[in-house]
């Protein structure tokens, strides 16, 4: 808690430098603008709102729950041509095909996940699982992710996420596949199942828990208030969750996100995403080494206006953090679970 040391991240097979004494240094760097508090509930010019016209001329239905549609500016398309063959091993290319979808959580633009009801959050989870099943029938990787807040590059305040299905395993998926496979081979138990059991027992990095789930600031966290959402049962994919596990997932997500908002009394920015066993051709393979989990990466460090930057040493050497994961977890754990609004 007082002196610098390095911690190993077995999921990524890398290290993070923890420099706890630096948290006391004064801040004279950039101050961010807090997110706007006056987002209109419905705006005819917002392309994610019910009844609005999107950039491609499509008119959204008057949806009342979740709404899924193809991304109008997709990073992946299903019919992309094959790239040219490489003439040198230092200049390699590979095919990349897929589909990109956008999913609105709710018809109201001023309602983020922590302010939604449990049935509304459960509907989001069910839609996630449905998309994971549908796209995972043919694509090896289905990445569900949410960028929340302008600070995380989100260009629209309407509550939504994206789902990208790809014909290949992305870098993080390939890395986690290798490390989890190696752990099961060496220790006979899925890595994150064992890790969840250890954190549930130790409790020093535990933020919130219920019968089916727990949220921790991982021992190897790089972002100040980074968290890891883990099931207690061995489950490989989001679509494998039982009815009660989905209910309890809605509850624990709401509790975590309320704590996030309460930390600095602001709509808390983050990037989050689900990782689970690959799909498509991998559905027929042994994926017992995988354990479903969700990563939350929030950038805020000291207040609603001071963020953590991953630059300099982090980009050129390795990740570094000031606040220890135990201090971050204790602060989040102590926050009320009633939203400040």
Is there a binding annotation on residue 339? no
Confirm whether residue 268 is marked as ligand binding: no
Neighbours of 157 (CB within 10 A): 20
User: Distance between CA 77 and CA 101 in Å, rounded?
Assistant: 11
Q: Is 275 labeled as ligand-binding?
A: yes
From 158, 160, 183, 289, the catalytic residue: 160
* DSSP conformation class of 334: T
Q: Quick: pLDDT tens for 88-147.
A: 999 999 999 999 999 999 999 999 999 999 999 999 999 999 999 999 999 999 999 999
Note whether 207 and 227 are within 8 A (CB).
Answer: yes
Cβ density class 296-333: b for 16+ within 10 Å, e for less: bbbbbbeebbbbbeeeeebeeeebbbbbbbbbbbebbb
Q: Which residues pair with 228 in a beta bridge?
A: 216, 295
Residue 254 parent element (H or E): helix 243-264
Spatial contact of 207 and 294, defined as CB atoms under 8 Å apart: no
pLDDT band at 82 (very low <50, low <70, confident <90, very high): very high
CATH for 39-79+94-334, options being 3.90.1150.10, 3.30.428.10, 1.20.1250.20, 3.30.450.20: 3.30.428.10
Q: Which of 5, 2, 22 is nearest to 224 (CA)?
A: 22
313 labeled binding residue: yes
For the residues 8-32, what does the mean pLDDT come to?
Answer: 82
pTM of the model: 0.96
The predicted model gives 183-202 an average pLDDT of: 98
| Backbone φ, ψ for residue 109 (5° rounding) | -75, -20
155, pLDDT greater than 90? no
Q: By C-alpha distance, which of 174, 128, 163 is closest to 278?
A: 174
Q: Using the predicted structure, report yes or no on whether residue 311 has a pLDDT greater than 70.
A: yes
Q: Is 60 labelled a binding residue?
A: no
d(CA 300, CA 306): 6
> How far apart, in whole angstroms, are the C-alpha atoms of residue 322 and residue 237?
34
Active site residue 160: yes
Q: 37 a known binding residue?
A: no
**Segments making up each domain of the chain, as ranges:** 39-79+94-334
Residue 74 CB-density burial (10 A; 0-12 exposed, 13-18 middle, 19+ buried): middle
Sign of the four-CA dihedral 290, 247, 146, 295: negative
């Amino acid at each position: 808690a007082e002196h610098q040391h390095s911690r190993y991240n077995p999921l990524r097979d890398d290290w993070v430098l923890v420099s706890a004494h630096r948290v006391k240094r004064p801040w004279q760097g950039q101050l961010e603008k807090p997110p706007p508090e006056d987002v209109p509930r419905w705006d005819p010019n917002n392309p994610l709102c019910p009844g609005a016209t999107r950039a491609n001329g499509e008119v959204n239905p008057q949806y009342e729950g979740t709404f899924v549609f193809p991304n109008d500016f997709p990073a992946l398309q299903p019919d992309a041509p094959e790239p040219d063959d490489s003439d040198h091993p230092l200049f390699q290319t590979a095919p990349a095909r897929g589909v990109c979808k956008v999913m609105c959580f709710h018809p109201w633009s001023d309602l983020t996940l922590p302010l939604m009801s449990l049935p509304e959050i459960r509907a989001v989870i069910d839609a996630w699982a449905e998309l994971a099943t549908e796209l995972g029938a043919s694509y090896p990787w289905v990445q569900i992710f949410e960028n929340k807040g302008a600070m995380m590059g989100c260009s629209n305040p309407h509550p939504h996420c994206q789902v990208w299905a790809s014909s290949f395993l992305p870098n993080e998926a390939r890395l986690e596949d290798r490390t989890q496979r190696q752990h099961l081979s060496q220790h006979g138990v899925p890595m994150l199942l064992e890790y969840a059991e250890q954190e549930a027992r130790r409790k020093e990095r535990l933020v919130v828990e219920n019968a089916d789930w727990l949220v921790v600031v991982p021992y190897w966290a790089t972002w100040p208030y980074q968290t890891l959402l883990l099931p207690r049962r061995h489950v490989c994919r989001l679509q494998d969750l039982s009815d009660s596990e989905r209910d309890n997932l809605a509850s624990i997500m709401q509790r975590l996100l309320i704590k996030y908002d309460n930390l600095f009394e602001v709509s808390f920015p983050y990037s989050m995403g689900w990782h689970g066993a690959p799909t498509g051709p991998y559905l027929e393979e042994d994926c017992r080494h995988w354990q479903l989990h969700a990563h939350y990466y929030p950038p805020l460090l000291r207040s609603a206006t001071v963020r953590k930057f991953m630059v300099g040493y982090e980009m050129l050497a390795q990740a570094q953090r000031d606040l220890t994961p135990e201090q971050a977890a204790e602060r989040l754990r102590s926050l009320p679970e009633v939203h400040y609004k």
